Amino acid sequence: MIVAPLAGRPEEAVRIALLSFGWEGDLARSTAAGLEGLAYRIDGLTPQPAEALVRVGARLGLEIVTGQGWALLTGSRARLSALARPWTVPEPLAELAIGLGHALPADEPSLWQTARGPLPLDTPVIIGVLNVTPDSFSDGGRYLDAEAALARAEHLLAGGASMIDVGGESTRPGAAEVPEAVEQERVLPVVQRIARRFPEAILSVDTMKSGVARRALEAGAAVINDVSGFRLDPEMPAVVARAGAGVVLMHSRGGVSDMASMEHASFPGGVLREVIGELGQALERARQAGIPAERVVVDPGLGFGKNAEQSLELLRGLRALRGLGQPVMVGPSRKRFLGAVTKTAAGERDVATAGACVAAWLNGARLFRVHEPAIARDALAVAAAIHPA
């Protein structure tokens, strides 16, 4: 008999071992996922539920630390799932069980449906940033000319981007809102030319205006990236739904001029908890509009109304967003929080961006919005080879 250790995270090592024994991929994945270690903080805990939690949690093999009105709960996903059954736990734990059930990560979606068809998520998906604006924070004014934008699109695709995100309105702090007609003049010719020149590329348009979104989708875009999370234009969900488009719902607060400032960077309930709650509201807006869940990606909005520590905390806790049941995109590219860590200027943060993308991949993100795809592509390829999805 030979007993050998398994390398890597337990759930990943078990999945690989099960595959080597001939198990089917989905069965191996779901079986191994039960071993995933998770931790939760519980607030507002009164004495009776707290006592029941300690008693039931011990029976289930969970680790629990309690204090006045709070508890920290850790254990494997499978054991936590046993606690998240309100029909089997004692009555004082019914509310906690329901909340835990909502918080536990869903099975990771394997595809993202767009207007151009499904996009596989089993390997990192890199989205190249193409700002056709005069005032974006790191590349404003460089690609205003349609030919320059087309050349940039070619560079992004050659660097490993499978999607290009075209934006015609800056959201840097203090930016003025761009009239819809001006935004269309910037975006539509670029979308049309890229769609003709690179028909295999999936095009996204970064806009908060339903009129721009509608025209862009008609021009060849397949995805709308709404950094307001459907907050600012009530017509946007219907436009996305009618077009059968994919959509990215990003967390933000405020309007164009202040959503990237620190004006809204107050999270008394914890940044991770409040971001998840507000993204949940965005998902409800999408659901009410009839947008199928398989068309929706969520983005925690790194740097948008978050200071450096808050953005880093979101990256550390990114796995918690899986409780929303949607694929996760991150856009750390050249952001201020990377500058706070590396002490570099915006144009010198592409290596730091790749590092943030690797951390995000390991914590469950599958889509990465970056200015320079090649550096992120190579870093993510190594990360995915070591820790497959």
Q: What local confidence, expressed as pLDDT, does residue 84 receive?
A: 92
Q: What local confidence, expressed as pLDDT, does residue 133 receive?
A: 82
pLDDT at residue 4 is higher than 60: no
Rounded (5°) CA angle 133-139-143: 55
Q: What local confidence, expressed as pLDDT, does residue 141 receive?
A: 56
Q: 5 vs 366, which has greater pLDDT? A: 366
Say whether 369 is catalytic: yes
What number of H helices and E strands is found in the chain? 14, 13
Whether 220 contacts 195, CB under 8 Å: yes
pLDDT one-digit tens code per residue, 307-348: 999 999 999 988 889 889 999 999 999 999 999 999 999 989
pLDDT one-digit tens code per residue, 368-385: 999 999 999 999 999 999
pLDDT one-digit tens code per residue, 218-269: 999 999 999 999 999 999 999 999 999 999 999 999 998 889 888 898 999 8
- Under the banding of pLDDT at 50, 70 and 90, the label for residue 1 is very low
Instruction: For the chain, report the end-to-end CA distance as a whole number of angstroms.
Output: 32
CA distances from 96 to 40, 50, 78 (A): 11, 10, 17
Q: What local confidence, expressed as pLDDT, does residue 324 receive?
A: 92
Q: What local confidence, expressed as pLDDT, does residue 35 receive?
A: 73
pLDDT at residue 291 is higher than 80: yes
Q: What local confidence, expressed as pLDDT, does residue 39 receive?
A: 86
Say whether 366 is catalytic: no
Q: Which two tokens stand for residue 363?
A: 């914590």
Instruction: Please name the residue ranges forming H helices in 127-244.
Output: 146-158, 180-197, 210-219, 236-243
pLDDT one-digit tens code per residue, 111-169: 999 999 999 999 999 999 999 887 555 555 566 678 888 999 999 999 999 999 999 99
Q: Is 270 left (phi over 0), alpha (psi -120 to 50) or beta?
A: left
Residue 22 CB neighbours (<10 A): 7
pLDDT one-digit tens code per residue, 33-70: 777 788 888 889 999 999 999 999 999 999 998 888 88
Domains detected in the chain: 36-103 (3.30.70), 111-386 (3.20.20.20)
In percent, the amount of the chain with pLDDT more than 70 equals 95
- Under the banding of pLDDT at 50, 70 and 90, the label for residue 294 is very high
- Under the banding of pLDDT at 50, 70 and 90, the label for residue 295 is very high
From 253, 334, 369, 377, the catalytic residue: 369
Residue 205 CB neighbours (<10 A): 30
Q: What local confidence, expressed as pLDDT, does residue 2 receive?
A: 52
pTM value?
A: 0.87
Q: What local confidence, expressed as pLDDT, does residue 312 receive?
A: 95
Kindly report the backbone phi and psi dihedral angles of residue 37, in degrees, each rounded to the nearest multiple of 5, phi listed first: -85, 130
Q: Which two tokens stand for residue 156?
A: 């992004």
Dist CA 273 CA 262 (whole Å)? 18
CA distances from 386 to 59, 115, 279, 343, 376 (A): 35, 32, 30, 29, 15
From 335, 336, 366, 377, the catalytic residue: 335
